[in-house]
Amino acid sequence: MPAQESECFESGPAHTVAALKCQPRKPMTQRKTEPATRLMQSIARYIDRNADQSLVLAELAAQAQLSPSHLQRRFKAVLGVSPKAYQDAARLRLLKAGLKGGKSVLNAITEAGFQSTSRVYGHTTRNLGMTPTAYRAGGAGETVAYALRHTTLGPLLMAATHRGVCVAQFGDDSAALIAQLREEFPKARIVESSHTQSPELDAWIAAFESHIAGTSPRPDLPLDLRGTAFQIRVWRFLLGVAEGEVISYADVARGIGAPRAVRASASACGSNRIAVLVPCHRVIRADGGLGGYRWGLERKRLLMARERTGRAPMRFAHGGAVGER
């Protein structure tokens, strides 16, 4: 998907509850509340089916046979966002589908259930990462500069917009990393970094490379975080996790004020596109297992070992197991 996009809850709370792998086993207290969790999931599905309609909290509460205030609390505890925020995200999916399908901006906005264009431009651009018109154009008008390095953890591609780093991806093949970037920004202007086009990026990736090699502290780089409101809450929380510290997915959920949204928090970690700078490698399962890592468990082990000992890790050996959160 384009990096400017936010897949909203396609990769977030509602759609990953049953699909996530490598999750901590639930404690007995959580197992007892499973029916309540399933009820909130059913309300989320109802919102998905009726996202373009005007849904008031009282109507949703009636569906759940709860008071509005009780539904609000339970829904946010399970899904990580309020019913209203969840519906906004579902509408955003409809808007994006309409724009991708070639509908006019006005028709796509109307059919997604938004009541005014001002609401769309004031709210969804934070999640789209661009205006609806630019999104419909597949990122046309955006300039994304990238740089490649062969690091101790394998090939690394870092890309940035004028706002900051939007991608830092490890891979096994430089050509594949570039192809992936072009898929994420299908109509944007993709340029290889040079001192003329993006002098900052050259310095940023050099600082990043020194950091993962264990020869310099983590660079304080500007980040262009693009995701749902929930995902960004998780990523910002991770930015505060100290080097060498390890926390659980449950700790993340509690840290963002949504203690029951453990799986949603894990999904947000797995959706992170900015390796190391947003340190999702510092999050493990409650039982001490590594969980998963978008760029492979071997890289996660090496990063954790380097931060724990303060020494440069052994070089990455290709073929490390990859785990999906």
- Widest CA span in the chain: 62
The reported pTM is 0.59
Report how far apart, in Å, the C-alpha atoms of 8 and of each of 31, 54, 65, 81, 229 are: 27, 19, 27, 12, 8
pLDDT at 178: 95
For the question of residue 166 being annotated catalytic, the response is no
Give me the amino acid identity at 69: S
Task: Please check whether residues 124 and 184 belong to one and the same domain.
Answer: no
3-state secondary structure of 149: strand
Query: Of 161, 163, 152, which Cα lies nearest the Cα of 208?
Result: 152
Choose the catalytic residue: 8, 166, 269, 280: 280
In a shared domain, residues 105 and 178: no
Average pLDDT of the chain, as a whole number: 77
- Residues 82, 197, single domain; the answer is no
pLDDT digits over 187-220, tens only? 788 999 875 556 678 788 888 888 888 777 778 8
Per-residue burial over 109-138, b if 16 or more Cβ lie within 10 Å, else e, is: bbebbbeeeeebbeebeebbbbebebbbbb
Q: Does 124 share its domain with 150?
A: no
Q: Is residue 248 in some structural domain?
A: yes
50 and 154 in a single domain? The answer is no
In tens digits, what is the pLDDT along the chain, a chain of 325 residues?
A: 333 333 333 333 333 333 333 344 444 344 444 788 889 989 999 998 988 888 899 999 998 999 999 999 999 888 877 898 888 878 877 877 777 677 776 777 777 776 655 455 444 444 555 556 655 555 567 788 999 988 889 999 999 987 789 899 999 889 999 998 988 778 788 999 875 556 678 788 888 888 888 777 778 888 888 777 788 889 999 999 988 899 999 999 999 999 999 999 999 999 999 999 999 999 999 999 999 999 999 999 999 988 887 655 555 565 443 333 3
Do 254 and 187 lie in a common domain? no
**Do 155 and 202 lie in a common domain?**
yes
- Same-domain pairing of 23 and 47: yes
**pLDDT confidence of residue 22:** 39
Region for 117 from its dihedrals, namely left if φ exceeds 0, alpha if ψ lies in -120 to 50, beta otherwise: alpha
User: Looking at residue 49, which CATH number applies to its domain?
Assistant: 1.10.10.60
CATH number, domain with residue 252: 1.10.10.10
CA angle 130, 271, 9 (to 5 degrees): 70
CATH number at residue 162: 3.30.160.70
Planar angle of CA 292, 295, 298, nearest 5 degrees = 70
What is the tens place of the pLDDT at every residue in 60-112? 999 899 999 999 999 988 887 789 888 887 887 787 777 767 777 677 777 77
Q: Given this model, what pLDDT does residue 250 score?
A: 94
- Are residue 34 and residue 125 in the same domain, yes or no? yes
Q: Does the residue 218 lie in any domain?
A: no
Among 101, 136, 171, identify where a domain stops.
136
Does residue 71 share a domain with residue 26?
yes
Note whether 67 and 125 are same-domain residues: yes
Q: Which residues contact 218 (CB under 8 A, 6 or more apart)?
A: 211, 243, 276, 277
| Residue 324 belongs to a domain | no
Number of domains in the chain: 3
Considering the domain boundaries, does residue 87 fall inside one?
yes
Last residue of a domain, one of 88, 114, 136: 136
What is the model's pLDDT at position 120? 53
| 294 located within any domain | yes
Shared-domain flag, residues 195 and 234: no
Residue 221 lies in a domain: no
Residue 219 in domain: no
Residue 317 domain flag: no
Domain that holds residue 255: 229-309
Give me the pLDDT at residue 128, please: 52
